[in-house]
Amino acid sequence: MWGGMSIAHAEMKAEPAYSFNDDGTLVKPEGYREWIYVGTPVTPNDMNNGKAAFPEFHNVYIHPKNFKKWKKTGAFPNGTILIKELVSVGSKSAPSGNGYFMGDFIGLEATIKDSTRFKGEPGNWAYFSFTREGKAPATKAKAMPTDKCNFCHQGFAKDDWVFTQYYPILRAAKPGNGR
């Protein structure tokens, strides 16, 4: 029993879902395109007066460790991280018809639930933007002010600050949903 627990603990230590620099900035996560994909909301510029707040496609991922807990409990554990990667609309027609088709990666955002590090934030969620217009994402990001990001998630997200109403994969995996 003790052996098992310490192995589990060692694994957690060896593979943290996220890490912070000494100056409190979040290190840009790596490998997130191989995390669990949960959905792709699209807010195209041309349906938002040419300038959507978060343009185009938003590919959203959750760390596999957090997803495992979500499947078991239907809740986001302390230490959850979700990534939102923005992708431009590359084409508006394809052999399949007219529509919105993915172009290039144009931005990267993250949210983290951490009751130790962000005990002052509503719901203990903090928000980060690595996006740099026209450039590769920054390698680090500091937590955004509460009134820039958190307030809207607090007000409108379905499940603990997370917009599960737009993520069918999370809804289907929630215990009892069976879809």
Q: Which residues bind ligand HEC (CB under 6 A)?
A: 41, 43, 54, 58, 60, 82, 84, 109-111, 127-129, 144, 148-149, 152-153, 157, 162-163, 166
Closer CB to ligand HEC, 40 or 101, in the complex: 40
Whether the Cβ atoms of residue 86 and residue 109 lie closer than 8 Å to each other: yes
Closer CB to ligand HEC, 42 or 97, in the complex: 42
Nearest to 40 by CA among 99, 96, 80: 99
Residue type, 147: D
Closer CB to ligand HEC, 10 or 26, in the complex: 26
Nearest to 54 by CA among 38, 74, 40: 40
Minimum distance of ligand HEC from residue 10's CB (angstroms) = 29
Closer CB to ligand HEC, 138 or 152, in the complex: 152
Minimum distance of ligand HEC from residue 95's CB (angstroms) = 27
Whether the Cβ atoms of residue 60 and residue 145 lie closer than 8 Å to each other: no
- Kindly state the tokens that stand for 156: 């409108």
- Structure-token match 């957690």, residue found: 12
